[in-house]
Amino acid sequence: MATEESSRPASGLGGRRESWDVLVVGAGTAGCYAAATVARAGYDVVVLERKDESEAGHIACGDALKGASKFPETIPRERLEPAFTNTEVDHGRFEIPHLDTVLNIPVPGELAVIDRLEYGRRLIEAAGDAGAHFHYDTVVNDVVQNGAVEGVQAISRGEPFTYEADVVIDAAGALSLLQDKVEFDGTSFDTNVNYSQFSSAYREIVTVEEPVEWSDALVFKPTERAAGYLWYFPRTKTEINVGLGFQMTEEPMQLVEDLKRDLSEREEFADAEVEDKLGAALPTRRPYDSAVAPGYMAVGDAAAHVNPTTGGGIAGAAYAGKYAAEAALDGLEQGDVSEEVLWSYNQQVMDHFGGRYAALDVYNIYTTAYDVDDLMGLLSALPVAKLSEAIYSGSANIGWWLKLKTALKARGHWGTIYDLYRTKSLADELLAHYEDYPDDPNDFTTWRNRRDDIMAQVYEETGAEPKY
C-alpha cells in the first residue's frame, strides 16, 4: 500500500510525480465502481478524469438502466436512486414504418430511465465517500511501461504529471487512447480492435409540452439502412432522450440533420425545446477476448462491455469495474500483478455476461447481410416473447410448433428465417464455448482458435463480411 508520503506530489523529471496503489483512468460507471471497490479495501486509488468537476459524469448515453437492483453493493443502490426519473418502462416499442407496424416487446426485469448527469455525479460522490480520490482536468497522453504497465503521463490542470501505480485500470471509454500507447506484445490482450466494430451516436435531451403516449416504453425505429436506428427514451412523460447512431462500417450519416428530420415528422415533438446535446462512439462488438496485461486491465466501453444489440453498457461496466478491482486487490496482496494473477478478471466477465454478449453479436453480424426492409418484415413475424428472451439472454428456446407458426406468419421471408434459425444454432454453440473460457492464460490460444472456427461458420452461413 502506498504510504501517505509517497502519494503526495513531488517534483521530478517531466513535472510532478505521484504514486498510488491503483490508478483508474475515467470517472464513468466502470471507473467509479473500480475505484470504490479498491478504496473500501483500504488501498490508495486515484481516478483521473479529463473533464472539470462540474462536467464530470456528463456522458452521451441512451439513459436506460437495466437491472439496477442487482448492481454491485460497492455503491449502494440508494445512492443512485434519486437519478431514476422513470421507473414505469416495461417494454420496447419497435416502429416499422414501411409496414405501418408497431411491435411491442416486453423487457424482462427491472428497467429505469435516468438523468445521466445526475447519475454520474452520484457515482463520483459515492466513490469519493468510499475513499477514492479524483483529479479533474487531467488528460492522459502516454503510459509508463517497463514490462508491466507502471503508470501514466498526463497533463493535470495544465501541469505535466507522472502518476505511478501498481495497477492501471483503463476506464477511458470506447477506442481508449491508452490502448494505442501500451505495448501488448507477449500478452493475451485483445488487439483485434478497429473502428468498424463501433458505432457513432448522437443524442439530445428535449422537452415537449404534452405528455407522450409511450412514456412506459423504450421506442426504437430503424433508419433507412440496416446499420442504424433512432431511439426515443422517456426520462419523464415530457422530457425525452432522443438519438440515433450508425455502424462505422457504413457511409457516415448526418446525425444532427437526420435526427432533426425525424423529430419534425413526429407530431408529439412539435415546439419541442432542446436542453442538451452530446455525441459519442459506442462499441457494438463482442467483449474483448482478454482485457488483461501485466499491471493493466480495461473495463466498460474500453473493453466493449456493452450489449451489442441494445447498446446497454451500464450494468456490464459496473460489474467489470468491480471484477477488475478485485483482481487488482489480489495482485496487491500477492505483490504480483502479472497477467496470470489478474486473469481472474477475464473469467468473471466471461462467466457473468461476456459469453452472452458474444452470442448476441452473432445476430448483429447476421443483420449486416440482409436488406433492412426484409429484416423488419421478419422482425414483425417473430414471437415477441422469444425475441425479448433472445435480445437480453443471447439465446431462446423455440419449439417446433412455434417454429411452424412463425414460418407461416413469415411468408415471403422464409429464406431469411431459415438463415436466422441456422444462425441461432451457431450462436448457441458459441455461448456454450464461452462457458469453457480458460482459467489460465496458457490455455487461451486453444480456446480462441476454437471460437474462431465457430465464427468462420457464422460468416459462411450468413454471407456477412468478417467483423474481426
Query: Does some domain include residue 63?
Result: yes
Query: Does some domain include residue 392?
Result: yes
Among residues 226, 248, 281, which one ends one of the domains?
Answer: 281
pLDDT reading at 344 higher than 90: yes
Encode pLDDT of 124-136 as tens digits.
Answer: 999 999 999 999 9
Encode pLDDT of 348-405 as tens digits.
Answer: 999 999 999 999 999 888 877 766 555 555 555 555 454 445 555 555 554 544 444 4
> Do residues 257 and 364 both lie within one domain?
no
> Do residues 348 and 296 both lie within one domain?
yes
Q: How confident is the model at residue 5 (pLDDT cuts 50, 70, 90)?
A: very low
Query: Does some domain include residue 223?
Result: yes
pLDDT, position 3 = 38
Q: Domain span at residue 374?
A: 355-462
pLDDT, position 1 = 43
> Do residues 36 and 161 both lie within one domain?
yes
> Do residues 305 and 454 both lie within one domain?
no
Please give the mean pLDDT across all residues of the chain: 87
Higher pLDDT, 439 or 381: 439
Encode pLDDT of 82-92 as tens digits.
Answer: 999 999 999 98
Nearest to 256 by CA among 266, 267, 243, 268: 243
> Do residues 361 and 326 both lie within one domain?
no
pLDDT reading at 14 higher than 60: no
Percent of residues, the chain, with pLDDT higher than 90: 67
pLDDT, position 225 = 58
pLDDT, position 387 = 46
Query: Does some domain include residue 468?
Result: no
> Do residues 143 and 276 both lie within one domain?
no
HSE on the CB side for 391, CA within 13 Å?
20
pLDDT, position 2 = 45
> Do residues 92 and 238 both lie within one domain?
yes
Query: Does some domain include residue 440?
Result: yes
Higher pLDDT, 424 or 235: 235
Q: How confident is the model at residue 297 (pLDDT cuts 50, 70, 90)?
A: very high
Q: What is the pTM of this model?
A: 0.89
421-433 core/surface letters (b: 16 or more CB in 10 A; e: else): eebbebbbebbeb
Burial environment of residue 215 by CB neighbours within 10 A (0 to 12, 13 to 18, 19 or more) = middle
pLDDT, position 411 = 47
Encode pLDDT of 393-417 as tens digits.
Answer: 555 554 544 444 444 444 444 455 6
Among residues 281, 297, 327, which one ends one of the domains?
Answer: 281
pLDDT reading at 183 higher than 60: yes
> Do residues 61 and 186 both lie within one domain?
yes
pLDDT reading at 466 higher than 80: yes
Query: Does some domain include residue 4?
Result: no
> Do residues 264 and 319 both lie within one domain?
no
Encode pLDDT of 260-286 as tens digits.
Answer: 999 999 999 999 999 999 999 999 999
Count how many domains the chain has: 3
> Do residues 162 and 301 both lie within one domain?
yes
Q: How confident is the model at residue 456 (pLDDT cuts 50, 70, 90)?
A: very high
| Termini Cα distance of the chain | 40
CA–CA gap between residue 216 and residue 214 (Å, rounded): 5
Encode pLDDT of 247-259 as tens digits.
Answer: 887 777 788 898 9
pLDDT reading at 112 higher than 80: yes
Please give the single-letter amino acid code of residue 450: R
Query: Does some domain include residue 237?
Result: yes
Tell me the CATH number at 156.
3.50.50.60
Query: Does some domain include residue 2?
Result: no
